[in-house]
Amino acid sequence: MVFLLSVVALAVVEVAFMTVQRVYCSPARPKWLDNEPVVMPVSVAFTGVFAASIGAVVATSLDLPLGLWGDIGVSLAAIVMIVLIVWAGFRLVAGRGPAVPR
């Protein structure tokens, strides 16, 4: 159950990140998003939350009764599948998305 909760938490973090990325790359993004005092704390927060949620997936997968390599394989598969499923979902819903601003 704890493993499932950590996987769901990572999926929620990934969806939030992809949503913020879509807003930031949108031509109609708010001007306040261009300010470094806004962007840096958001980036730091996402980095910390990603690290914590990935660590939670790995830590909880070690409690599964599969042996060390089985547990590591499950955690890596879960992390990769979450990222790919969320990315594919955003591609299907929103299309390719806007070009990255330069």
Nearest CA to 84 out of 5, 6, 9, 10 is that of 10
Nearby residues of 64 by Cβ (< 8 Å), 6 or more positions away: 3, 70, 71, 74
- 99 is written with which tokens? 């070009």
**pLDDT at residue 10, rounded to an integer:** 85
**pLDDT at residue 90, rounded to an integer:** 78
pLDDT tens series, the chain, 102 aa? 788 888 888 888 888 888 888 877 777 777 777 777 877 888 888 888 888 888 888 888 877 788 888 888 888 888 888 888 888 887 777 766 555 555
Q: What is the pTM of this model?
A: 0.70
- Residue 66 in contact with residue 3, Cβ under 8 Å? no
DSSP 3-state of 20: helix
